[in-house]
Amino acid sequence: MSVVSTAHLQYGLGPRLAALARVVELGHGRLDPALLTDGGQLLLRAGDRLKLSAEHTVVALAGGTGSGKSSLFNAVSGLELSPIGVRRPTTARTHACVWGLDGAGPLLDWLQIQWRHRFARASALDKGESRLHGLILLDLPDHDSIRALTDPEADRLIQVADLVVWVLDPQKYADASVHRRYVAELTGHDAVTVFVLNQADRLTPEERAECVADLEDLLRREGVTVPRVVATSTTTGMGIDDLKAVLAESVAARRAAYQRLEADLDRLMARLTKEMPDVPRVDPTVDDVRRGGLTDALCDAVGVSALGEAMENVYGVRSADWVGWPFARWAAKLRPDPASSLRLGGVKDDIRELVGSSVSAQPAEVDNAVHALADGLAAGMPQVWRQGVLEAARSRSADLPGALTNELAEAAPPLNRVPAWWWLLKIWQYLLVVMFAAGLGWAGAVLAYGVFEVGRPPAAVLGDVGVLPWVGLMLLSVVGLGLLTGLASRNFVVLEAGKERERLELDMRRRVGGVAHDMVITPVEGELNRYNEFYGALGAARR
């Protein structure tokens, strides 16, 4: 396994694959399912391949029917292993020839090569073949015959082989079945793709040169930057050694498996990063301005400031019943009431009940506030992620109005609350009224006994006319005191209500902010973190 780990270090494949795993994990629901599937498959394949023998290089001979894959297979292996024939298609099952058998078993199992189609070259015995030690040569079925339409064998092995040798021939080298389906799909695989122009003996040297040049042109047009083309002939043996040399080079380097996986990874990453967003990284925390904006909007939805104003007004009005000057109140009661003339019944009770009802949040406004936050945060993100942020913000949207209502119901005092000092003042006012009545009685008694002398005063003080001015003064001051108290306490109530309102609004804002944090900000920040992590992993996997 030491080879594997050094190779990991050397080519950085391990961390990139780990990052890809993270991308696949985080991208669920955010990426095209086809891309996710491909990513998952690549991870699986890479995991499998890296676990298996690093000493071996799997080379697949692929090509159309009749291009001479089996002949080439036999020529390279030097044995008549794979049947060749003139009828098309000839090969239906993959044949494998292994140079150096140790540890190749599991790899061949993984490649799903049938036992009876496995052959081994004891490379030590073959002179000059030791350089191919570690080669697993596969002779694939064709991919373009009518048989291949129902048999994905060739397709499967082309995807998993470490090195693919495309066996082309002068007749078929420009077939769409090779180029459109595979070569154009495998751009970036230059290092692990070799093209063989087989049956070169059918061409004159000039034609051969033209053909090779044309093929190279074609490949370059398709994105193969450095096409490796070897002209071979199995009849004359031409070029076979060149091909062997190319294979030996790859086999000796023991890198084809990593290069192949890297190329696959590069290709997948190119697809994944095709639409990189303008902002690959966002602030993972919701800033204070946005937080404040959300709180403000939610406060509006609850009507915090309106509530404060209402409290101030309603307290002011209601306090008149408690701390106001009783005489003014009685005077007002004497005025005719339109409600009673309309026989509206307990409208006053209704109003009292209404005023006593607690605050609540309006769902539509809450929804709009949450949406505005998500919209502002996700600006510049790709559409799926915007949707993701919105969904995260709305994840507890259904409970939010209820939660706000509950939270604020604790904070907001009912508008029909009666503070204790209102009672005291009421008692004081009535005390003054009683004193006024007593003063009136006294003054009356003095008048009756002292001035009109209707009888003997029960007490001297009741008959003493001299106290009359004092009693009058007392009456005046009692009334004045009541009036003053009424006015003063009214002002006091308003002042108090103003203070209360400030305190209340602060408290409510704090509570709204808390609810917003728990139910909106936290899920949104989770999504923002996921976004950052996803694009971070994408960047890491891209290298």
| Window 67 to 106, contacts with another protein (CB under 8 A) | 67, 79-81, 83-93, 96, 98, 101
Q: Which of 145, 395, 429, 485 binds another protein (CB under 8 A)?
A: 145
Q: Which of 270, 351, 487, 506 binds another protein (CB under 8 A)?
A: 351
Nearest approach, Cβ of residue 260 and another protein (Å): 23
Nearest approach, Cβ of residue 318 and another protein (Å): 7
> H-type helices in 254-336, by residue range?
256-272, 288-302, 304-323, 326-334
Element (H, E) at 457: none
Residue 506 interacting with another protein (CB under 8 A):
no
Residue 207 interacting with another protein (CB under 8 A):
yes
Closest CA to 82 of 133, 167, 127, 140: 140
Q: In the complex with another protein, which residue's Cβ is closer, 515 or 537?
A: 515
What phi, psi does 195 have (nearest 5°)? -110, 135
Q: In the complex with another protein, which residue's Cβ is closer, 80 or 453?
A: 80
Q: In the complex with another protein, which residue's Cβ is closer, 96 or 528?
A: 96
Place of tokens 């007392």: 474
- Greatest alpha-carbon pair distance for the chain in Å reads 161
Residue 314 interacting with another protein (CB under 8 A):
yes
Q: In the complex with another protein, which residue's Cβ is closer, 139 or 162?
A: 139
Q: In the complex with another protein, which residue's Cβ is closer, 18 or 84?
A: 84
Q: Which of 65, 234, 429, 485 binds another protein (CB under 8 A)?
A: 65
Q: Which of 42, 43, 60, 108 binds another protein (CB under 8 A)?
A: 108
What is the sign of the dihedral through the CA atoms of 317, 319, 322 and 325?
A: negative
Residue 175 interacting with another protein (CB under 8 A):
yes
Residue 170 interacting with another protein (CB under 8 A):
yes
Residue 513 interacting with another protein (CB under 8 A):
no
Q: What is the 3-state secondary structure (H, E, C) of 383-429?
A: HHHHHHHHHHHCCCCCCHHHHHHHHHHHHCCCCCCCCHHHHHHHHHH
Residue 64 interacting with another protein (CB under 8 A):
yes
Count of residues in the chain:
543
Q: How many CB atoms lie within 10 A of CB 8?
A: 16
Q: Is 163 helix (H, G, I), strand (E, B) or coil?
A: strand
Which residues from 211-270 bind another protein, rule CB under 8 A? 211, 214, 218, 222
Give residue 300's Cα distance to chain centre. Answer: 28
Closest CA to 83 of 110, 60, 127, 116: 116
453: left (phi over 0), alpha (psi -120 to 50) or beta: left
Q: Which of 383, 423, 499, 502 binds another protein (CB under 8 A)?
A: 383
Q: Which of 28, 51, 180, 503 binds another protein (CB under 8 A)?
A: 180
Q: In the complex with another protein, which residue's Cβ is closer, 106 or 466?
A: 106
* Window of 258-266, 338-346, 478-486, 494-502 that interacts with another protein by CB under 8 A: 338-346
Tell me the C-alpha distance between 464 and 459, whole Å.
9
Residue 310 interacting with another protein (CB under 8 A):
yes
Tell me the C-alpha distance between 191 and 263, whole Å.
8
Q: Which of 52, 72, 158, 169 binds another protein (CB under 8 A)?
A: 169
**62: β partners:** 166
Q: Which of 189, 255, 260, 318 binds another protein (CB under 8 A)?
A: 318
Nearest approach, Cβ of residue 362 and another protein (Å): 4
Tell me the C-alpha distance between 135 and 129, whole Å.
10
* Window of 37-45, 46-54, 202-210, 435-443 that interacts with another protein by CB under 8 A: 202-210
Size of the site for another protein (CB under 8 A): 100
Place of tokens 């607690």: 358
Q: In the complex with another protein, which residue's Cβ is closer, 66 or 463?
A: 66
Q: In the complex with another protein, which residue's Cβ is closer, 172 or 244?
A: 172
Residue 399 interacting with another protein (CB under 8 A):
no
* Window of 158-166, 176-184, 423-431, 519-527 that interacts with another protein by CB under 8 A: 176-184
Residues 6+ apart with CB under 8 A from 298: 361, 366, 369, 404, 512, 515, 516
CB 220 within 8 A of CB 190: no
Tell me the C-alpha distance between 465 and 457, whole Å.
11
Nearest approach, Cβ of residue 349 and another protein (Å): 10
Q: In the complex with another protein, which residue's Cβ is closer, 346 or 514?
A: 346
Residue 341 interacting with another protein (CB under 8 A):
yes
Task: Pull the structure tokens for residue 481.
Answer: 């005191």
Residue 417 interacting with another protein (CB under 8 A):
no
* Window of 19-27, 140-148, 272-280, 488-496 that interacts with another protein by CB under 8 A: 140-148
Residue 147 interacting with another protein (CB under 8 A):
yes
Cis amide leading into 170 (omega within 30): no
Place of tokens 């044309």: 214
Q: Which of 6, 41, 236, 357 binds another protein (CB under 8 A)?
A: 357
Q: Which of 17, 69, 71, 144 binds another protein (CB under 8 A)?
A: 144
Please state whether beta strands 118-121 and 193-197 pair in parallel, antiparallel, or not at all (unpaired): unpaired
Residue 334 interacting with another protein (CB under 8 A):
no
* Window of 349-357, 437-445, 449-457, 489-497 that interacts with another protein by CB under 8 A: 349-357
CB 89 within 8 A of CB 141: yes
Place of tokens 């309309």: 342
